[in-house]
């Protein structure tokens, strides 16, 4: 009989997609369960992943609701404890975020072994609470900001964790065309700034290049963007958060993106030249440090949102696109960074870490 392991996740796609990737890595060696909150469940195909919803209240929603939310939070801990005992689970992986707090707390009561996952270059607040308790924490670097020095030996460096089909999709060649294919990625929750401030830049770009735009945004913004693209005769394709961007990455010449860890990992793996505009309100400014992790390796360009208003973004992007030598240098750096990132290599690291601890 296989040993049982549970993956706790929820919230945004940045948490849930890596959780499913861990699931795929572990399913041949363990009986795997996936726990998510209601918000995170929309990213999961329940026909593929054993998934149970334990919803967790978001205390940021309303100060007036804090007493009621505390009751619901306590209930979610009890639900987590019951699930762990019923399924006799003794190993847990948490992908971070407040959504995983009840499961991590419940794990203390039954002495389950806890593993954490931190894809960002700043230690998340939820992970910081349980760093003492955990067996190991999976990271992409040994230099994580706000990481306590006395627990550095708990870091297990892995390659950026990707979907299994990403490794297969990369084999396809990009279609050669005089068309410039842009990809705009605002994140799984959509980014309002990306729906407004970039319009003028894209319109100018369309007059300089034969442009096609793939634009990821919240469905609430579709109508507004459809009017903009049609009015300016820019060929486009709009989509909400999509788990299968591999075929779009292959076609993309240039990407403008936020700096979520999962998105940057995929762009680098597929060798897509990208300009990162980190979300300025991310907790502890972790998106800025995520972007610098790759910029320091010459894999991308960065501009902070506060600087866009004082600089000409159209000229910045135009200069990037005409400097083919720099673009090739970035692609070479991305290729070198991703050289050993294979499904098999990551699988061995993950399985061995969990087995040995």
Band (219; pLDDT cuts 50, 70, 90)? confident
pLDDT at 60 over 90: no
User: Residue 132's domain is classified under what CATH number?
Assistant: 3.40.50.2000
Q: Is 150 in the same domain as 190?
A: no
Domain with 271 in it: 167-338
Q: Is 188 in the same domain as 76?
A: no
Q: What is the pLDDT of residues 75-92, one digit of tens each?
A: 999 999 999 999 999 999
The phi and psi torsions of 237 (rounded to 5 degrees) equal -145, 120
Band (188; pLDDT cuts 50, 70, 90)? low
Q: Is 101 in the same domain as 11?
A: yes
Q: Is 74 in the same domain as 125?
A: yes
pLDDT at 355 over 70: yes
Q: What is the DSSP letter of 145?
A: B
pLDDT at 163 over 60: yes
Q: Is 193 in the same domain as 333?
A: yes
Q: Is 258 in the same domain as 150?
A: no
Confidence at residue 173, expressed as pLDDT on a 0 to 100 scale:
57
Asked whether 17 and 49 are in contact (CB, 8 A), the reply is no
Q: Is 258 in the same domain as 285?
A: yes
Q: Is 180 in the same domain as 315?
A: yes
Counting runs of H as helices and runs of E as strands, what totals does the chain give?
Answer: 16, 13
Q: Is 319 in the same domain as 350?
A: no
Q: Is 7 in the same domain as 88?
A: yes
More confident residue, 34 or 245: 34
- Burial of 292 by CB count in 10 Å (0-12 exposed, 13-18 middle, 19+ buried)? middle
pLDDT at 292 over 60: yes
Mean pLDDT across 120-127:
96
The first and second tokens of residue 23, run together, are 């699931």
Q: Is the dihedral of CA 354, 142, 298, 96 positive or negative?
A: positive
Q: Is 182 in the same domain as 137?
A: no
Q: Is 154 in the same domain as 176?
A: no
Confidence at residue 46, expressed as pLDDT on a 0 to 100 scale:
85
CA separation (Å) from 36 to 44, 162, 187?
A: 9, 19, 19
Domain count, the chain: 2
Confidence at residue 343, expressed as pLDDT on a 0 to 100 scale:
96
Rounded Cα gap, residues 32 and 4, in angstroms = 6
Using the structure block, give the residue that is written with the tokens 């806890």: 114
């Amino acid at each position: 009989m296989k040993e049982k392991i549970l993956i706790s996740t929820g919230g945004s796609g940045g948490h849930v997609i890596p959780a499913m990737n861990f699931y795929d890595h572990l399913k041949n060696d363990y009986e795997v369960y996936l726990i998510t909150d209601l918000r995170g469940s929309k990213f999961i195909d329940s026909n593929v992943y054993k998934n149970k919803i334990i919803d967790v209240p978001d205390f940021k929603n309303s100060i007036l609701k804090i007493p009621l939310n505390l009751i619901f939070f306590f209930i979610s801990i009890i639900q987590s404890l019951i699930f762990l005992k019923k399924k006799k689970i003794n190993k847990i992986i948490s992908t971070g975020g407040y959504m995983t707090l009840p499961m991590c707390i419940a794990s203390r009561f039954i002495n389950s072994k806890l593993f954490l996952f931190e894809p960002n270059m700043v230690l998340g607040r939820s992970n910081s609470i349980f760093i003492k308790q955990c067996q190991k924490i999976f990271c992409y670097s040994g230099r994580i900001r706000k990481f306590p020095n006395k627990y550095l030996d708990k870091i297990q460096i892995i390659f950026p964790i990707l979907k299994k089909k990403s490794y297969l999709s990369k084999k396809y060649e990009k279609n050669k065309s005089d068309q410039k294919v842009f990809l705009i990625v605002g994140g799984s929750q959509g980014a309002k700034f990306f729906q407004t401030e970039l319009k003028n830049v894209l319109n100018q770009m369309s007059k300089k290049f034969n442009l096609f735009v793939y634009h990821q945004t919240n469905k609430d913004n579709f109508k507004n963007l459809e009017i903009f693209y049609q009015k300016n005769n820019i060929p486009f394709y709009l989509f909400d958060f999509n788990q299968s961007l591999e075929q779009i990455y292959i076609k993309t010449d240039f990407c403008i993106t936020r700096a979520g860890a999962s998105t940057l990992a995929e762009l680098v793996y597929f060798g897509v030249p990208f300009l990162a505009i980190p979300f300025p309100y991310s907790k502890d400014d972790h998106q800025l440090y995520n972007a610098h992790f790759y910029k320091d390796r010459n894999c991308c360009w960065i501009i902070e949102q506060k600087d866009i208003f004082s600089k000409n973004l159209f000229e910045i992007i135009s200069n990037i696109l005409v400097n083919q030598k720099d673009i090739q240098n970035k692609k070479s750096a991305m290729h070198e960074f991703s050289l050993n990132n294979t499904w098999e290599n990551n699988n061995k690291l993950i399985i061995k870490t969990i087995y040995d601890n």
